[in-house]
């Protein structure tokens, strides 16, 4: 099994010295993961397109996770900010097909992005099936978004496998990510669940030893930065999105 790529969450990094913090993960983590929360979909109010743009300006690819109600209203700003991955939630919109279609058009017209679709622990993964042709990455949340110190849900590995089965049945290859509750203690186990991408934030940027934490996390995930074949797949998906939603 190939080791998963790492997307390092930066909300707990020192945002007053963002460039220096991102230098720690440059060439080691594949992405800087930015959690955008609106205080409605999630209880927290965090950051927005300006921080995405600041992170992207450093040259580190940005993975923007939009935990916001009706994300279509900010998609243009997020894509223009330079995100490499833009993930919206299945639970966040009344019209997910329209949102993903808009993201597909922005990817073709403004800047290529990978189109991510996230599912919360209580959401059946079958919701992805009607939309697979508009999705490059399915992000399986292992915890309820917005609450800290949660352990990954016990069914997360099974849900990752179910996503794989749905994509295989549709003959539509996608990447699968997992986000939530990934720590230095459980990262080695999470790496066996079959995800292509693992998100971890506060386990790395803990205010004490982010460089040492990153080294330990990469070792636990058995990641060799960069993983050439999967990195190529990520970048190919982002640049081959057409307005019609097929690749």
Which amino acids are annotated catalytic? 35, 179
Quote the tokens at residue 205.
């940027």
Q: Cβ neighbours of residue 224 under 8 Å, at least 6 residues apart? A: 3
What stretches of 85-212 adopt beta strand conformation (E)?
85-89, 114-119, 137-141, 175-179, 197-200
Measure Cα distances from 167 to 76, 131, 163, 201, 232 in Å. 28, 10, 6, 28, 20
- Max distance between CA atoms of the chain, in angstroms, equals 47
Compute the distance between CA of residue 246 and CA of residue 185 in angstroms, rounded to an integer: 39
* Secondary structure of residue 188 in the 3-state scheme: helix
């Amino acid at each position: 099994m190939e080791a998963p790529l790492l997307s390092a969450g930066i909300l707990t990094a020192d945002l007053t010295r963002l460039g220096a913090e991102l230098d720690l993960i440059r060439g080691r983590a594949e992405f800087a993961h930015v959690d955008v929360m609106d205080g409605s979909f999630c209880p927290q109010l965090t950051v927005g397109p300006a921080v995405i743009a600041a992170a992207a300006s450093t040259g580190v690819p940005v993975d923007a996770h939009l935990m916001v109600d009706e994300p279509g209203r900010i998609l243009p700003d997020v894509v223009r900010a330079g995100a490499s991955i833009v993930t919206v939630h299945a639970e966040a919109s009344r019209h997910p097909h329209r949102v993903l279609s808009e993201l597909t058009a922005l990817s073709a017209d403004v800047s290529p992005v990978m189109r991510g679709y996230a599912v919360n622990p209580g959401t059946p993964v079958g919701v992805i099936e009607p939309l697979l042709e508009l999705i490059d990455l399915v992000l399986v949340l292992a915890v309820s978004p917005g609450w800290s110190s949660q352990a990954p849900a016990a069914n997360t590995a099974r849900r990752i496998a179910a996503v794989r089965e749905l994509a295989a049945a549709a003959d539509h290859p996608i990447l699968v990510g997992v986000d939530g509750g990934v720590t230095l203690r459980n990262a080695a186990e999470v790496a066996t669940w079959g995800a292509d991408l693992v998100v971890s934030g506060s386990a790395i940027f803990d205010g004490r030893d982010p460089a040492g934490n990153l080294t330990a996390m990469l070792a636990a995930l058995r990641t060799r930065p960069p993983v050439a074949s999967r990195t190529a797949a990520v970048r190919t998906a982002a640049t081959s999105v057409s307005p019609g939603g097929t690749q």
